[in-house]
Chain A
Amino acid sequence: MPRERFRAGARAAVPFALAGGLLSASFGVIAVQAGLPDLAAIVMSFVVFAGSAQFAAVAIIGAGGSLGAAIVAAALMNSRFLAMGIALAPSLPGGVLRRAAQGQTVVDASWAMAMRPDGTFDRHFLFGATAPQYLAWVLGTVIGVLGRGVIGNADRFGLDAVFPAFFLALLMTEARHPHSRGVAIGGAAISLALTPFTPAGVPILAASVAALWGLRSRPPA
């Protein structure tokens, strides 16, 4: 039942929505400190809805970097969504526009949780999981922008550790495949090896190569 799956996704995503809300509050503070007008910071979360890309873009503008460099950095941070979109594609029905629209609901936590053991996706679960995360992301940004005087330096509260802890929790919850652990170590190693030499975002996309290990364990055709 699509509606039940949507609700199940929404329920499963509540902890991730809360963590994302904390993160987006710190984004709101940092974006305004980097020189974005209040409204632009809030609209950015509303229309971009991609944490790591937003942080990367705003950091570059805040450090006096060019507009082009900031947008390229955002694109690179988001490049992992290319891989996720390709994985999701066979599970999306409908015409080109409808598939493109459905693809917008991909965020890391929803995508990982909506995957079935056979590599297909429960798309209604995906949509449901993204809904509370989107609401919390926008709301958190509003709180960060308006409450920046109270929050001050978000790093003081360790909010920059929320992002990796969030993905670690997801990794520990979702890694059910027998080869998950080895692939996770491989992905981490690839990304760290590339970090000193490539722009931010590229090491993460490159880490998806570790998933090729799956070819060794493929079931007989």
Chain B
Amino acid sequence: MSTAWALVTGCAVVTFAIKAAGPIALGGRALPAWFASIVALMPSALLAALVATHSLANGDRLEVGPVTAGVLVSALVMRRTGSIAWCVISAAVTTAVIRAL
């Protein structure tokens, strides 16, 4: 098998296993109150981490760049319009324009 196909197979297997692990181990059980109160806040923590690492870091270096500016503009657009489409488009356009300068 070539490296490319081994990569595709390997990534598919680990992704399947990771996504299956929680539901297999803990599925169908009742939800204790403390568990629910943590879970309810997990999207905020995980999504904020995704935003931060993709707009303020380049690999393992912290960095402010065109993407940072694009994401800042998209936050303002999202607040004003509430539109996910405009939010995403404004981020891409801002980043592209700054790179083109």
Q: Which residues of A contact B (CB under 8 A)?
A: 15-16, 18-19, 22, 35-37, 40, 43-44, 47-50, 52-54, 57-58, 61, 67, 70-71, 74-75, 78-94, 96, 99-100, 102-104, 106, 108, 111-112, 115, 117-120, 155-175, 177, 179-181, 183-192, 195-197, 200, 203-204, 206-215, 217-219, 221
CA–CA, A44 to B11, complex, Å? 8
Which residues of B have CB within 8 Å of A61? 3-4, 7
**CB closest chain-B residue, reference A74:** B11
Known contacts A74-B14, A169-B78, A43 near B8 by CB under 8 Å? yes
The answer to whether A47 touches B44, judged by C-beta atoms less than 8 angstroms apart, is no
**CB closest chain-A residue, reference B60:** A196
Which residues of B have CB within 8 Å of A119? 31, 35-40
A73 to B: closest C-beta gap in Å = 9
Point out the residue from B22, B29, B54, B100 that lies within 8 Å of A167, measured CB to CB: B54
Question: Could you give 15 example pairs across A and B, Cβ below 8 Å?
Answer: A19-B85, A52-B50, A57-B7, A80-B50, A81-B22, A83-B42, A94-B27, A103-B22, A103-B23, A119-B31, A158-B67, A161-B95, A163-B54, A174-B43, A192-B52
Known contacts A74-B11, A169-B87, A188 near B49 by CB under 8 Å? yes
Which residues of B have CB within 8 Å of A167? 47, 50-51, 54
Point out the residue from A160, A188, A215 that lies within 8 Å of B37, measured CB to CB: A215
The answer to whether B18 touches A172, judged by C-beta atoms less than 8 angstroms apart, is no
How many A-B contacts are there with CB distance less than 8 Å? 345
The answer to whether B12 touches A195, judged by C-beta atoms less than 8 angstroms apart, is no
The answer to whether A108 touches B46, judged by C-beta atoms less than 8 angstroms apart, is yes
B contact patch SS: helix
The answer to whether A96 touches B78, judged by C-beta atoms less than 8 angstroms apart, is no
Known contacts A158-B95, A164-B50, A81 near B37 by CB under 8 Å? no
The answer to whether A89 touches B26, judged by C-beta atoms less than 8 angstroms apart, is yes
Point out the residue from A35, A108, A120, A214 that lies within 8 Å of B31, measured CB to CB: A120
CA–CA, A7 to B16, complex, Å? 25
Size of the B side of the interface (Cβ < 8 Å), in residues, is: 79
The answer to whether A108 touches B39, judged by C-beta atoms less than 8 angstroms apart, is no
Known contacts A67-B7, A215-B34, A92 near B47 by CB under 8 Å? no
The answer to whether A15 touches B85, judged by C-beta atoms less than 8 angstroms apart, is yes
The answer to whether A188 touches B52, judged by C-beta atoms less than 8 angstroms apart, is yes
CA–CA, A120 to B75, complex, Å? 28
- 9 other A-B residue contacts (CB within 8 Å) besides A50-B11, A92-B28: A58-B7, A75-B14, A91-B31, A103-B23, A161-B66, A171-B43, A175-B47, A179-B44, A184-B48
The answer to whether A218 touches B6, judged by C-beta atoms less than 8 angstroms apart, is no
The answer to whether A49 touches B37, judged by C-beta atoms less than 8 angstroms apart, is no
Which residues of B have CB within 8 Å of A170? 43, 47, 84
Which residues of A have CB within 8 Å of B25? 86, 89
